[in-house]
Amino acid sequence: MMHIINGLKIEEIKETGVFCYLIVSENSKVLIDTGLSSFSKILLKRVQPYVSAGELLHVYITHADPDHIGGLASLRKHRPLNVSAHPAEEEAILAGKLSREIHPRGLEKIPYKLIGLMTKMNPEIVDHTFSPTSSILVFPGMQILHTPGHTPGHCSFFMEREGILFSGDSITYAHGRLSPSSGANNWDVNLSRSSFEIQKSLKPEWIFAGHFSLATSGKHLVWST
């Protein structure tokens, strides 16, 4: 699905509940996250119309979970990339592991074990690390937000002029309400809440997240308190 917001094109790429986003302007293209490894062919097919084979594609990683970096290796085989992540997530990506431990309880352990078997992580290259709270030169005005909680180095990206927030897994959405990330795979509940409040204060008009997208007027967004 393509969204056009103030002349900016956002190609929403979805598969099995995982979302990646290709942002296209007249002069720049940026891919946010690369989905699962099983997602690779779909990802490449969706990127291809906008990015030529020899063109450098900038990839910004929200965090190092396999459903956000799994397609990285395959994508790099087909085109030159400049991959950026927070230093804490870079370390995990280079090691091919999660950037924090997860703590499932009771019956939760079964699906988490199955997911772990199905989403093997391999070490990948990161070309550049973010300096949180700085701006991104590829898209002037896009801010890097360090939004820890779900993982130690989780980052979100905010485009103030357009009112667009790319929130990765730092925000969840259920029953018409936005909430901080939580659960067995959440690293720090207090930091999750703090990051959530920071993003809430930005009053985004649109939220594009790792597992949902809300391309709607901000007045319709309901934030938990």
What's the token pair of residue 90?
Answer: 């870079």
pLDDT of 129-169, one tens digit each? 987 666 676 777 889 999 999 999 999 999 999 999 999 99
In the predicted model, what is the mean pLDDT of the chain?
A: 89
What's the token pair of residue 214?
Answer: 């809300």
| CA-to-CA separations, 119 to 70, 98, 113, 116, 130, in angstroms, rounded | 8, 11, 10, 5, 26
Query: Domains in the chain: how many in total?
Result: 1
225, part of any domain:
no
pLDDT of 90-138, one tens digit each? 999 999 999 998 876 676 666 556 556 556 678 999 999 987 666 676 7
8, part of any domain:
yes
Residue closest to 59 by CA, chosen among 50, 48, 72: 72
Q: How far apart are CA 17 and CA 35, in angstroms?
A: 10
Q: Is the four-CA dihedral 194, 199, 203, 207 of positive or negative sign?
A: negative
157, part of any domain:
yes
Position 198, amino acid: I
Rounded to two decimals, the pTM is 0.92
Q: How confident is residue 49, by pLDDT bands cut at 50, 70 and 90? A: very high
Q: In whole angstroms, what separates CA 144 from the centre of its chain?
A: 12
CATH code assigned at 6: 3.60.15.10
Please answer whether residues 176 and 223 qualify as being in contact, where contact means their C-beta atoms are separated by less than 8 angstroms. Answer: no
Q: Tell me whether residue 101 is exposed, middle or buried, using C-beta atoms within 10 angstroms of its C-beta: 0 to 12, 13 to 18, 19 or more.
A: exposed
Q: Residues 110-118: contacts with CB within 8 Å, 24+ apart?
A: 112/184, 112/185
Please answer whether residues 85 and 72 qualify as being in contact, where contact means their C-beta atoms are separated by less than 8 angstroms. Answer: no
Q: Is the four-CA dihedral 71, 74, 79, 85 of positive or negative sign?
A: positive
65, part of any domain:
yes
Domain range enclosing 141: 2-220
